[in-house]
A and B are shown apart, each in its own frame.
Chain A
């Protein structure tokens, strides 16, 4: 079976002399047809550069890209006809109405007048934009522009859809609508390649994820298998009736604890062995006379795995607002 995406030794160096740091460094991976594939990485890791090369917007320095069996360096035309692209910024024509935006894209992809009319109506209705079809996109909210941008990318029913950061900055309702759409597209056989910072989103949506760091693929697998590989980032989450001053420092001194993180009214204690930590923790609460409200053991999250692989500190890309991330990180040399 032909892979949706096949990448061999893909390299990108932006430096004209070829001496600069490689933005993408000889990466190899494949994406199967019908798969939702997440491409994760910190800023500057090479995510967008890779996606731009896969969508013909950027010329690779070296390497080979096959999109649905078509080598982009030979003739990108057949591949382009089967690709849909949703960039990070919603690139709709704000001077045009939603309907005109879709008609333009449909014509660009050589759809017949009847087909693009039927498809545009279907998409506008599905995306909750039908009532606004004759309104210029400049009057749309960010979420509406995002939905229109995705509708434009899939009007020609692409076999492969590229999504760059599909949901950041959107309200919960818009984000859920888009996530639902991604699942729906996948169930209809569309391959989805998404770059994202939203690790939990990737965890929930993706069949497989690749983590790219410093231009190299650091890990590639299903989210669950990746989590199993990183058992050292298990944790115990505990909340108390009261959290006296200095509690953070005291928790950090407990045996088996590698990192302490305050998340809302809870404390998350990272450890390699929750079972070994629990007796110490219970004893600690008795000595300190603390009343426990809740106590849970947590398996590693995809975010934890991501942080381990990319060498960032736990808590640095938490979904929680940054103002709440007051946790102390005590590095015992276990983080990469």
Chain B
């Protein structure tokens, strides 16, 4: 039992070291700034211009967009880049489990999303006089959503390739599809039955509804459902990442 706890403590420490290293190495790289920082703001302003919406409504959408796009940007950028440079081999050969490595990589995207969301939040509160209905829920939502969508990004990063371009295309495509089927730009209550049914398949729908609860104080879905789906999605997203890494080891990536 002692060995188990010692090993767990060691693995957590190693995951944290991987995260810290990636923060130092990648946060200011153009790829991260473009896909993780600027993209959600571009998306938000593109779809918000000339649309009637309250400051709170806009805030909730911007927060959902930033945690989604920013968190999911890290994995597809960092992991293939490290594979290309050979630095990923250093991590794979190190005495830590694959789950630890993935946890470290997921935390990188999650912290980036939390930081960018905080910037969006400060802008909203200071310049748009947005009020937050449930601050604690909003913090919990940002944290859980960031980890969940970062885990989704790591799935794409786990595709066995050394070329970041091979990963960016499918990851961008799927993120855009999820964005349009979710209730970010069209509220769930205004969707047709079929569209609404499809939107329930996207975890972003639940993140958006959670932000609506947190910022506006109201949402279409139950709070527990939003939190549960986001949390479970994050856990389930680990499975394809593990499978793809194992496949990569068979193929030689």
Contacts and interface: CB of A to CB of B under 8 A. Distances in A.
A16 to B, nearest CB: 8
Interface of A: 14, 49, 52, 55-59, 77, 80-81, 83, 85, 87, 89, 91-93, 95-96, 100, 104-105, 107-110, 152
**Dominant secondary structure at the B interface:** helix
Nearest to A13: B250
A57 B21 contact: no
B249 A59 contact: yes
Interface in B151-206: none
A96 B24 CA distance: 8
B93 A100 contact: no
B140 interface: no
A253 B250 CA distance: 52
12 contacts: A49-B252, A77-B95, A80-B94, A80-B95, A81-B95, A89-B86, A91-B85, A91-B87, A95-B25, A104-B17, A104-B21, A108-B18
B25 A93 contact: yes
B67 to A, nearest CB: 26
A91 B25 contact: no
Contact of A108 (B14, B246, B250, B251): B14
Interface residues of B, number: 25
B10 interface: yes
Nearest to A83: B93
B252 A80 contact: no
Contacts of A100: 24
A87 B17 contact: no
A203 to B, nearest CB: 28
A107 B95 contact: no
Contact of A58 (B24, B94, B249): B249
B23 to A, nearest CB: 11
Contacts of B250: 58-59
Contact of B92 (A57, A81, A93): A57
Interface string B64-95: 00000000000000000000011101111111
Contact of A93 (B21, B89, B95, B246): B21
B252 A91 contact: no
Given A91-B89, A100-B24, A58 B252 contact: yes
A81 B14 CA distance: 13
Interface in B1-59: 10, 13-14, 17-18, 21, 24-25
Pick the most buried of A49, A93, A152: most chain B CB atoms within 10 A of its CB.
A93
A110 B92 contact: no
Contacts of B86: 87, 89, 91
A49 B93 CA distance: 15
Given A57-B92, A85-B93, A14 B252 contact: yes
B133 interface: no
Interface string B89-113: 1111111110000000000000000
B13 A110 contact: yes
A24 to B, nearest CB: 11
A79 to B, nearest CB: 9
A107 B17 contact: yes
A96 B249 CA distance: 27
Contact of A57 (B14, B89, B96): B89
B249 A91 contact: no
Contacts of A57: 89, 92-93, 249
Contacts of A108: 14, 17-18, 90-91, 94-96
Contacts of B91: 108
Contact of A109 (B87, B94, B246): B94
A59 B250 CA distance: 5
A311 to B, nearest CB: 25
